[in-house]
Structure 1
Amino acid sequence: MTETVAIVVVTYNRSALLENMLAGLARLDRPADAVFVVDNASTDDTADVLARADVPGLHVITSPDNLGGAGGFHLGLKTAHEQGFDRYWLMDDDVVPAPDCLTVLLTHQGDCLMAVREDSRGNLAEYAALRFDLRNPLSVKPKTASVVGTYGSRAAMPATVPLENVAFEGFMVRRHVVDAIGLPDDSFFIFYDDCDYAIRARRAGFTIDAVRDAVLVRQLDFDQQHDLSSWKGYYMYRNLFAVHFRYGENPLVRAKPWLIAAGVIVLSPVRGGRPEARNARRALQDARRMRALPRA
């Protein structure tokens, strides 16, 4: 309980969500020692919200450019790490921690911890992966088991649940982990940067545990559906492919991006059309350049 904690938040043009989230941080019964908010070049009234926020230890990092979630967490964690804190708690601007959430997390000594999310109605909404399969080439989606899909409710969960993947929504990492594996990879921009970081941590021998009684409330309904023919679709494909190229445990898994891209192109006349096919082709080409791991 004597360890120091820095919270790292990334925000972009969601001032109303950010204001609620900051109010939640102000209500923590054990305040963080510092709160670093990376403002990704917001054009709404985010600056005003941050200026009037009454949060202990608040530091605002205003980026002149939109670095994406990945770049924002890279910059925020880098800044906090350079200041010597013991633990780092990463979260988006759309979650609100329960008042005792940080207190509960600090009673656990694991390398990496995950607060357990619920929706605004109190239903379990923790989609972190219990199993993230990069061995079976027949698994179309590598996440084959999640917390909510396995347990259904918070009450049904054991006190801690080992995870293979996380989201940067309530993810806590200790200093020695960052020392060993480095920072989130900002080249991801959005999507799968948290996935990549969790895989790096686990492959370095560190554990990740979801802590049942650490409650984090999502302000928005959980929705992982995106228009794969849009600019977001490009990043979804590219970063999924990069994860397979980096961490696929056999040649067949590392070949899956080629098969997925081919399937998207073949099916494009009946689903995403030329824009999605173009995204898949470009994503495949660009993901090959991301095969090298970032340096620690």
Structure 2
Amino acid sequence: MSATPGARPETVAVAVVTYNRADLLRGMLAGLAALTRAPDAVIVVDNASTDHTAEVLAASDLVGLQVIRSETNVGGAGGFRAAVKEAHDRGFDRIWLMDDDVVPAPDCLAVLMSYDEDCLMAVREDRAGALVEKSALRFDLTRARAVKPKTAMVETTYLTRAAMPATVELENVAFEGFMVRRSVVAEIGLPDASFFIFYDDVDYAIRARRAGRRILAVRDAVLVRQLDFDQQHDLGGWKGFYMYRNLFAVHLRYGESPLVRAKPWLIAAGVVALSPVRGGPGEARNVLRALRAARGMRALPADSVE
């Protein structure tokens, strides 16, 4: 649905989080500068980077650039919370969340702003033009048998961008091209910083949908991802702890039956049982630590609620 003709043009702020990826950040800022519809502000949270991120930001002549320097690395979740709060407090009508490893097509923002919807998602492709949008068409928290709640996603359902309809309704998003209206933030609150990394975007999408908003992926809003997806191979490393903990937290918060809310214990038991032949002791330790930690995340933190 297009924006109402004659209405006051909405303002939009881009909310970016970066950490030690200065060269990627430079490319992303260049992409923002090339947009045919310029954003009204670009708010970058620098998560205590130790590379040349500060120099890249200082050298940028992007109009409306504001840098928030965090004294510690608060993760993507903490960074997005800070950026969204700043954009909300400054009164921008829409907030466009973006990582430092994506570059929008020149018309991406103009396409999104043409839709009169509270929650929108740009559609990602890789540098070769292949569709890599992993946002879920179905994120099932109703059935305990669905070991992985993401049971359908844009990439595997449509295979190519050309095969997509103009808009596709989503049940979760990534904070790489997600756009939300200020009115939604005022109602459901800020992203939950306690996630640190992973699933903060899923949590936010669930909150928006439970508040009655639909989320539309817009086929013609192109966002180019500069890195490959490889985080699924790190379940035995430090990222694996957060992947398991935050997946479990989502089930404990939003599972729609006692059996669904019991899935974290079943998953943990399965990972430990299989660890001698798959995953090893690192993954087994991660999943047990994650189970204990997720129990403390059943409720949304007070500072994430307006």
Say whether the fold is shared (TM-score over 0.5): yes
Q: Measure how far apart 1:293 and its partner are.
A: 2.1
Among 169, 174, 177, the alignment partner of 1:167 is: 174
DSSP-derived class of the 1:269 partner: coil
Name the residue aligned to 1:154: 161
Aligned counterparts, 1:88-167, within 5 A:
88-167=95-174
DSSP-derived class of the 2:232 partner: coil
Name the residue aligned to 2:33: 26
Q: Which moved more, 1:215-224 or 1:90-99?
A: 215-224
Name the residue aligned to 1:70: 77
Aligned counterparts, 1:1-296, within 5 A:
2-294=9-301, 295-296=305-306
Aligned counterparts of 2:233 and 2:81: Cα–Cα separation in 1: 24
Aligned counterparts of 1:274 and 1:221: Cα–Cα separation in 2: 27
8 Å Cα contact 1:36/1:58 also seen in 2: yes
- Identity over aligned pairs, percent: 73
DSSP-derived class of the 1:31 partner: coil
How many residue pairs get aligned? The number is 296
Q: Measure how far apart 1:235 and its partner are.
A: 0.4
Aligned counterparts of 1:16 and 1:45: Cα–Cα separation in 2: 8
8 Å Cα contact 1:95/1:217 also seen in 2: yes
Aligned counterparts of 2:204 and 2:87: Cα–Cα separation in 1: 17
Q: Measure how far apart 1:222 and its partner are.
A: 2.7
Q: Measure how far apart 1:110 and its partner are.
A: 0.9
Aligned counterparts of 1:189 and 1:273: Cα–Cα separation in 2: 24
Name the residue aligned to 2:4: none
Q: For 1:89, give the aligned amino acid.
A: W
Aligned counterparts of 2:268 and 2:124: Cα–Cα separation in 1: 33
DSSP-derived class of the 2:161 partner: coil
Q: For 2:205, give the aligned amino acid.
A: A
Deviations 1:85-141 (A, max 9, x none): 000000000000011111000110111000011110111111110000011111110
Q: For 1:278, give the aligned amino acid.
A: R
Aligned counterparts of 1:223 and 1:273: Cα–Cα separation in 2: 19
Q: For 2:191, give the aligned amino acid.
A: P
Aligned counterparts of 2:146 and 2:284: Cα–Cα separation in 1: 21
Aligned counterparts of 1:161 and 1:223: Cα–Cα separation in 2: 25
Q: Which runs of 5+ in 2 are unaligned?
A: 1-7
Q: For 1:162, give the aligned amino acid.
A: E
Q: For 1:131, give the aligned amino acid.
A: R
Deviations 1:258-284 (A, max 9, x none): 001111111112222222211111110
Q: Measure how far apart 1:221 and its partner are.
A: 1.9
DSSP-derived class of the 1:149 partner: helix
8 Å Cα contact 1:226/1:232 also seen in 2: no
Q: Measure how far apart 1:252 and its partner are.
A: 0.6
Q: Measure how far apart 1:225 and its partner are.
A: 1.6
Q: Which runs of 5+ in 1 are unaligned?
A: none
Aligned counterparts of 2:282 and 2:228: Cα–Cα separation in 1: 27
DSSP-derived class of the 2:186 partner: helix
